[in-house]
């Protein structure tokens, strides 16, 4: 166990790293040449415009020479906090605004609790002397002295902890309630004030049954004309254009190479660039690069046109899926919430995601497959979470040097050198694990895609769930119980249910100092590393150098990315878990968590305002998930405390803890009934109000025209744009 | 453990009792004087008419003298089977017809499995010799010799059991699938061919928010006129008439007394009947009974009229609940399935139950209370199931003789007699338990009512769930693990999760013979006792003697009752549990269960045709519950077998069992998606089809008039009928 001094050293190191990152950030972002990396959002919104590439007239277009600006290197924080929330919603969307509220919620929950904890719990703990008197506790530090560990077994002081647990739960629930209410209200206001959008009028219909006499398109039309006679407007069938999308994607890649070659030629007109024909341009016959790529593009364009023809003409390329639009929002709301057909697995309706949120690839999956896919992926995720360490160890064992030596004898002289050998042996196994962890979100996202969800927002949310479970098991439990996940699983399985809280209650208090260090490394430095944006910076400059020809290319090169809810939610929820679990046991952890929440709030607010460009807008549909996870953390905390109290032999007070989970679950059920529908359904009252308003303000709106091509596969749009460009 | 001989004795006794009951039944039902007890359904349908009471012209109106009819005393069974299912549905409703299919399903599942078990498992078991060779098994019977217990530890023969388990699961799932599909189809056909009913057009709206400017009635009208402009037709507010209902009920009781007195006077005109004024007519001043009761009735009629006036006039007596009717079924289907208001706890809509199914009393419960009520009742049911034995023991200890002696000294000489004392001491504690078990369904029904469900069908279903859990814990587990329920709970809680299947696997095979005896007593004799209808017979004759004045009174006196799904479902499901659990372990139990299912099918078919008069028609809405419980039994069986196999040290084959629960759960999820919506939602396609048909066949139907008073509190209808009678 670390002493206070150890922690101090760790804190010093991490704070230094954080400051280093911040200074680096401040320096880099002040250079005009990096402006598009650190302020892409403004370029996308068209509020900033940079010079084109050839425009290298003066040094101060590249480097900022105003030394005064460097002095106030933390100024961006004030900047970031300045924009009011309403403006933020308009600027970056509701998703981003509500995302930032999560950090704020962390502050709202833990700040008062920290003050209370230090005012009440710390004095109670520190004036007892269990750790001094007992010989059983071999090592004890100053941190343990101010934690619950210092209270004597069976002490009456535990009543204070008990009542504080109630206060803590009550306060957390209260804040959660307020927040849920606020977010639900924000969502309604947002949906109400939104502009007319195609998804408000449209329903995604899946599982359209085949009809022997009619094409799918006609079948859809007839079905909805019959069953929604007053509201049905039009529909758009979905083509299986996955192959076409692949061709187009390939053409884009070739286009990049062509651009690169042309740029190279333009800079050095004496030599025509060449490349080899084979794999990745590494092998094969050498040809003129510009000619070669141009020919390739011609070929691919032809292929795309042929494929497009085929898709649009072939009845079999039409999937049993359609986007059905209605005359009024009311009709769409009705259709999305009702069952259409006697067979509940046919004519499935749900709200259409907004067009840019659609994940087209998965629309082709048959419904029966979905259950199987879900089951398989659940099994796979379970295996991944509990047994991931096994293949990693296997790869590590493959990557040992003796094996490599045997297979590649020519490497032997190099490997046998002492320095290199020890370096590799220390480095390779770690690399395998690092690589795995780095690609984990990608793997999880692929799993979610295989599961068959049809919109990006949903994909990010379900990936977040998977990642969260992974973190809880492999970061939290693995640290607490020390052992690979599947060993813990085995232990829990062979343990009586009544024993589990006790195991947790014994183990968790011991790990407080470890988690404090974890917060500093992962939380503090991590955030600073995030806003530094080193990777995007390098990629941008590389692209800018080799590929950018037009202003549009440069915009593409910025690739600001989105906040990445699939990875940030699990992280912030892990901090909520740590905060709730340790709030009573070791309140000393709270300041570190609060600094994390505060710093993250400011940093990500800056990012949201200046960098991120969200791919979609779900209207904060993720909030129930956040809320439910925090509730789950609360219940976990209560179970742990049951174990801690029974370890402390507090027979009087322990039974009073049992009321807590019951109350918490009651609160959870209430919140679910009260607020959750706001995030999944669209009330008819709202739909009618918007319809009425629409009718009054735009009496002669041609809604059919407005919806005409809204739900066209983007690949067709690209093709159309290209064709327009050709003529 | 019982030997085959013991079982034979038990079987002989039970078969004798059963036959005794059946002969008694045959004898009693052939007497014309009992005709209304054994064939009330036909009287209610108006297909039989009996002579009025005074009509005692000949003996053969009372006693059947045709001796030939007594010879074929089992003839009713053939009669019962003769009516085809389609006619049965028309005669008794879909609920009853599908209820009978449960017994048939039992036969369909277990009959082939029994044949297979006896053809495959019994030879495999009987040719092994574990019980002969091993000294560990002290007592063993012939039944154990043909059960799995006789297979050697680690024997390769267990592969046969393993594959049979797969066959068993596959067959059960297949039958369940077929049955679910059939029942869902029957439900749709039933709903489609049904006559126009008010509940097809009506939605129950709860949680109508108060409006400062409008009455509730106006508020409802405005809300639905705005949000369902094309379909809203009318609505009916709900009055809190609980007090009025009480008065009316009291008046009916007094009316009974008046009838009794008048009859008495009519038979013996020389003496005017008298009664005492005080409690139950036992104390107080003696008065003329006819005058006294007439005065009482006048008084109560006035009270009722005043209360009625008050309820109809008082704005506060209107509850925030309304029955809203729509022009077309489509409109009602839309309204019932969608969310109306931004706040999802306001303007809650659900399908209205049919008028006679409404449980009016609970419509007055505010919504916020419902969550709390549900939580409290869940806790109470849990306590009742696991700790019911504690108050029973307490009452038993109170009821001991020493206590009674002390309190009532005058009883001492009687109690002290040896014979009476031992009788009472043996009898009283048992009586306490019997009384409790007798009133248990009533207690559970009261709990369900407190939970706040608003229709009788739902009340019966949730009571059935509670009763089922009670039976599983206190009949099944208590017999298997021998010990009070809360002791088992404690044991399970202090046991590792991996240990639980082993405990079950060790205990369950030992109890096969006990359950065989249980089936004979509870199942066979129980059913015979049921169709004997001794209690209704006595009550009918008492009423007939003392209260019946008019033909209508006699009809009321019949009180055929309904099948009582709240008690019969748990029973039949318990038999499914026994059958699935023992099918592989001890196939010898299957014939007993099959006899139960067959006998129950015939008997209750007779009852359904001739006796029961269902209170409501839910369109077999209970089927998902039956299906899910059988699936749960299957999974429980699989867990038990895991334990049995690991007890048998079948390390090779045990892992293959794990696939079973996974497959079963996948099957369950599939069935839920595929069929369950058919029982809770009403597809728009169906609604539209019926609407269109209606429009074509009855173009000038006045639907408003049809719905006018459909959802009026029955107490107002009674009052109206009375008033009509008065003029």
Nearest to A677 by CA among B345, B68, B87: B345
Q: How far apart are CA A443 and CA A438, in angstroms?
A: 10
Residue A339 and residue B681: Cβ atoms within 8 Å? yes
Q: How does residue A50 score in pLDDT terms, banded at 50, 70 and 90?
A: low
Residue B498 and residue A494: Cβ atoms within 8 Å? yes
Which residues of chain B neighbour A223 with C-beta distances below 8 Å? 685
Of B342, B493, B675, the CB nearest to A683: B342
Q: How does residue A242 score in pLDDT terms, banded at 50, 70 and 90?
A: confident
Measured in degrees and rounded to the nearest 5, phi and psi for residue A656 equal -70, -15
- The token duo for A196 is 């007319």
Q: How does residue A71 score in pLDDT terms, banded at 50, 70 and 90?
A: low
Task: Say whether A711 sits in a helix, a strand or coil.
Answer: coil
Mean pLDDT of B95-101: 93
> CB–CB of A88/A96 below 8 Å?
yes
Q: How does residue B679 score in pLDDT terms, banded at 50, 70 and 90?
A: confident
For A50-64, A78-92, B162-176, B606-620, which range has the lowest pLDDT when averaged over its residues? A50-64
A583–chain B nearest CA distance, Å = 28
Task: Say whether A286 sits in a helix, a strand or coil.
Answer: strand
Nearest to A624 by CA among A615, A632, A635, A616: A632
Tell me the torsion sign for CA atoms B144, B148, B154, B156: positive
Per-residue model confidence (pLDDT) at position B466: 93
Strand-pair category, B318-326 with B202-206: antiparallel
Which residues of chain B neighbour A672 with C-beta distances below 8 Å? none
Give B553 or A188, the one with higher predicted confidence.
Answer: A188
For A709-718, B63-72, B308-317, B355-364, which range has the lowest pLDDT when averaged over its residues? B63-72
Burial class of residue A218, CB neighbours in 10 A (0-12, 13-18, 19+): exposed
Give B177 or A40, the one with higher predicted confidence.
Answer: B177
Per-residue model confidence (pLDDT) at position A100: 93
Q: Which residue of B has its CA nearest to A368?
A: B670
Report chain A's mean pLDDT, rounded to a whole number.
82
Residue B685 and residue A227: Cβ atoms within 8 Å? yes
Question: Over 60: is that where the pLDDT of A57 sits?
Answer: no
Give A591 or B32, the one with higher predicted confidence.
Answer: A591
Task: Count Cβ atoms below 10 Å from residue B498 Cβ, excluding itself.
Answer: 15
Which phi-psi region, left, alpha or beta, contains residue A155 (left: φ > 0; alpha: ψ -120 to 50)? beta
Question: Over 60: is that where the pLDDT of A56 sits?
Answer: no
Mean pLDDT of A208-214: 86
Of A334, A341, A492, the CB nearest to B338: A334
Q: How does residue B206 score in pLDDT terms, banded at 50, 70 and 90?
A: confident
First to last CA, chain B: 73
Question: Over 80: is that where the pLDDT of B309 sits?
Answer: yes
Cα A624 from chain centroid (whole Å): 15
A316–chain B nearest CA distance, Å = 26
Task: Count Cβ atoms below 10 Å from residue B299 Cβ, excluding itself.
Answer: 12
Question: Over 80: is that where the pLDDT of A247 sits?
Answer: yes
Q: Does this complex have an ipTM over 0.85?
A: no
Residue B676 and residue A496: Cβ atoms within 8 Å? no
Nearest to B96 by CA among B518, B658, B709, B607: B607
Q: Which residue of A has its CA nearest to B185?
A: A342
**Helices B623-647 and B565-585, axial angle in degrees (round to 10):** 30
Note the pTM of the prediction, 2 decimals.
0.82
Which residues of chain B neighbour A666 with C-beta distances below 8 Å? 371-372, 375
Q: What is the pLDDT of residues B222-281, one digit of tens each?
A: 999 988 988 899 898 888 888 888 888 888 888 888 888 888 888 777 877 777 776 666
> CB–CB of B674/A375 below 8 Å?
no
Q: What is the pLDDT of residues B649-660, one digit of tens each?
A: 776 777 788 888
Q: Which residue of A has its CA nearest to B224?
A: A685
B229–chain A nearest CA distance, Å = 10
The distance between the two most distant Cα atoms of chain B, rounded to a whole number of Å, is: 91
Half-sphere exposure of A118 (CA within 13 A, CB side): 10
Task: Say whether A275 sits in a helix, a strand or coil.
Answer: strand
Per-residue model confidence (pLDDT) at position B573: 93
Q: What is the pLDDT of residues B165-200, one digit of tens each?
A: 999 999 999 999 999 999 999 998 888 777 788 888
Which residues of chain A neighbour B686 with C-beta distances below 8 Å? 342
Residue B230 and residue A230: Cβ atoms within 8 Å? yes
Which residues of chain B neighbour A688 with C-beta distances below 8 Å? 226-227
Nearest to A475 by CA among A600, A494, A467: A467
Residue A675 and residue B344: Cβ atoms within 8 Å? yes
Q: What is the 3-state secondary structure (H, E, C) of B58-123?
A: CHHHCCCCCHHHHHCCCHHHHHHHHCCHHHHHHHHCHHHHHHHHHHHHHHHHHHHHHHHHHHHHHH
Residue B344 and residue A683: Cβ atoms within 8 Å? yes
Mean pLDDT of A139-160: 76
Q: How far apart are CA B319 and CA B210, in angstroms?
A: 10
Q: Which residue of B has its CA nearest to A370?
A: B670
Q: How far apart are CA B342 and CA B171, in angstroms?
A: 48
Give B368 or A251, the one with higher predicted confidence.
Answer: A251
Mean pLDDT of B626-655: 86
Of B499, B669, B674, the CB nearest to A344: B674
First to last CA, chain A: 73
Of B340, B498, B686, the CB nearest to A342: B686
> CB–CB of A533/A24 below 8 Å?
no
Of B341, B494, B497, the CB nearest to A685: B341
Cα B374 from chain centroid (whole Å): 20
Q: Which of A496, A672, A679, A695 to mutate to test the interface with B (most CBs of B within 10 A)?
A: A496
> CB–CB of B141/B2 below 8 Å?
yes
Contacts of A89 (CB under 8 A, 6+ apart): A97, A186, A190
Nearest to B155 by CA among B179, B109, B124: B124
B336–chain A nearest CA distance, Å = 9
Q: How far apart are CA B512 and CA B524, in angstroms?
A: 17
Q: What is the pLDDT of residues B384-438, one digit of tens each?
A: 888 877 777 776 665 555 656 666 666 666 666 666 666 666 666 667 777 787 8
Per-residue model confidence (pLDDT) at position A722: 56
How many beta-carbon pairs below 8 A join chains A and B? 127
The distance between the two most distant Cα atoms of chain A, rounded to a whole number of Å, is: 91
B110–chain A nearest CA distance, Å = 29
Of A342, A497, A684, the CB nearest to B685: A342
Question: Over 70: is that where the pLDDT of B352 sits?
Answer: yes
For A194-203, A467-476, B372-381, B547-556, which range has the lowest pLDDT when averaged over its residues? B547-556
Nearest to B626 by CA among B200, B92, B109, B192: B109
Question: Over 70: is that where the pLDDT of A3 sits?
Answer: no
Of A227, A338, A683, the CB nearest to B341: A683
Per-residue model confidence (pLDDT) at position B136: 47
Nearest to A564 by CA among A467, A668, A420: A467
Per-residue model confidence (pLDDT) at position A140: 56
Cα A292 from chain centroid (whole Å): 40
B723–chain A nearest CA distance, Å = 43
Angle at B165 between CA B185 and CA B141, to 5 degrees: 120
Which residues of chain B neighbour A677 with C-beta distances below 8 Å? 339, 344
Give A448 or A366, the one with higher predicted confidence.
Answer: A448
What one-character DSSP code corresponds to residue B195? P
Give A555 or A355, the one with higher predicted confidence.
Answer: A355
Residue B338 and residue A678: Cβ atoms within 8 Å? no
Of A230, A338, A497, the CB nearest to B684: A338
Cα radius of gyration (chain A): 30
Of A230, A371, A493, the CB nearest to B498: A493
Q: What is the 3-state secondary structure (H, E, C) of A437-454?
A: HHHHHHHHHHHHHHHCCC
Question: Over 90: is that where the pLDDT of B23 sits?
Answer: no
> CB–CB of B360/B323 below 8 Å?
no
Residues above pLDDT 90, as percent of chain A: 18
Residue A684 and residue B227: Cβ atoms within 8 Å? yes
């Amino acid at each position: 166990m670390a002493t206070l001094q150890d922690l101090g050293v760790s804190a010093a190191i991490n704070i230094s790293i954080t400051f280093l990152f911040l200074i680096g950030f401040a320096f880099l972002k002040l250079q005009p040449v990096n402006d598009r990396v650190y302020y892409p959002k403004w370029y996308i919104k068209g509020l900033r415009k940079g010079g084109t590439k050839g425009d290298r007239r003066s040094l101060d277009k590249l480097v900022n020479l105003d030394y005064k600006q460097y002095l106030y290197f933390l100024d961006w924080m004030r900047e970031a906090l300045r924009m009011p929330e309403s403006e933020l919603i308009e600027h970056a969307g509701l998703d981003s605004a509500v995302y930032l509220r999560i950090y704020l919620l962390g502050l709202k929950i833990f700040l008062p609790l920290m003050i209370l904890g230090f005012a009440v719990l710390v004095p109670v703990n520190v004036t007892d002397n269990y750790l001094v008197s007992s010989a059983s506790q071999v090592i004890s530090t100053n941190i343990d002295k101010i934690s619950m560990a210092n209270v004597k077994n069976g002490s009456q002081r535990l009543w204070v902890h008990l009542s504080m647990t109630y206060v803590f739960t009550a306060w957390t629930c209260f804040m959660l309630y307020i927040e849920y209410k606020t977010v639900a209200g924000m969502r309604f206001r947002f949906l109400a004030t939104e502009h007319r959008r195609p998804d408000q009028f449209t329903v995604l219909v899946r599982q359209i049954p085949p009809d022997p006499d009619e094409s799918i398109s006609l079948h859809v039309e007839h079905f909805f004309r019959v069953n929604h006679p007053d509201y049905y407007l039009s529909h758009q069938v979905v083509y299986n254009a996955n192959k076409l999308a692949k061709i187009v994607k390939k053409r884009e890649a070739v286009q990049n190479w062509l651009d690169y070659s042309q740029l190279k030629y333009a800079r050095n007109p004496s030599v025509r660039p060449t490349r080899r024909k084979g794999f990745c341009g590494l092998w094969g016959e050498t040809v003129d690069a510009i000619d070669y790529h141009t020919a390739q593009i011609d070929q691919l364009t032809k292929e795309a046109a042929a494929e497009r023809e085929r898709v649009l003409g072939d009845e079999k390329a039409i999937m049993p899926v359609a986007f059905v639009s209605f005359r009024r929002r009311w009709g769409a709301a009705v259709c999305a919430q009702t069952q259409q057909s006697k067979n509940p697995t046919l004519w499935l309706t749900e709200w259409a995601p907004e067009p840019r949120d659609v994940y087209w690839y998965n629309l082709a999956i048959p419904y029966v497959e979905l259950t199987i896919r879900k089951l398989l992926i659940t099994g796979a995720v379970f295996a991944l979470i509990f047994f991931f360490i096994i293949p990693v160890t296997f790869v590590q064992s493959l990557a040992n040097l003796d094996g490599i030596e045997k297979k590649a004898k020519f490497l032997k002289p190099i490997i046998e050198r002492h320095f290199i050998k020890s370096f590799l042996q220390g480095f390779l196994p770690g690399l395998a694990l690092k690589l795995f962890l780095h690609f984990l979100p990608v793997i999880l996202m692929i799993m979610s895609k295989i599961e068959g969800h049809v919109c990006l927002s949903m994909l990010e949310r379900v990936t977040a769930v998977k990642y969260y479970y992974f973190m809880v098991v492999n970061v939290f439990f693995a640290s607490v119980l020390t052992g690979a996940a599947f060993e813990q699983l085995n232990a829990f399985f062979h343990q009586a249910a009544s024993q589990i809280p006790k195991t947790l209650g014994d183990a968790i208090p011991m790990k407080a100092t470890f988690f404090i260090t974890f917060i500093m490394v992962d939380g503090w430095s991590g955030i600073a590393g995030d806003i530094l944006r080193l990777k995007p910076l390098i990629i941008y400059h590389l692209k800018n150098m080799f590929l950018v020809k037009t202003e549009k290319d440069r915009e593409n090169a910025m690739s600001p990315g989105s906040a990445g809810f699939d990875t940030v939610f699990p992280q912030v929820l892990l901090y909520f878990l740590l905060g709730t679990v340790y709030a009573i046991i070791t309140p000393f952890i709270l300041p570190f968590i609060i600094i994390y929440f505060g710093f993250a709030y400011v940093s990500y607010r800056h990012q949201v305002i200046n960098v991120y460009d969200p791919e979609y807008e779900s209207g904060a549909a993720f909030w129930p998930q956040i809320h439910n996870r925090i509730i789950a953390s609360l219940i976990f905390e209560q179970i742990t405390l049951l174990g801690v109290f029974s370890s402390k032999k507090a027979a009087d007070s322990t039974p009073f803890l049992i009321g807590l989970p019951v109350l918490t679950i009651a609160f959870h059920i209430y919140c679910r009934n009260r607020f959750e529908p706001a995030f999944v359904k669209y009330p008819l009252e709202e739909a009618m109000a918007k319809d009425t308003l629409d009718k009054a303000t735009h009496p002669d709106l041609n809604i059919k025209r407005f919806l005409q091509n809204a739900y066209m596969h983007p690949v067709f749009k690209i093709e159309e744009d290209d064709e327009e460009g050709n003529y």
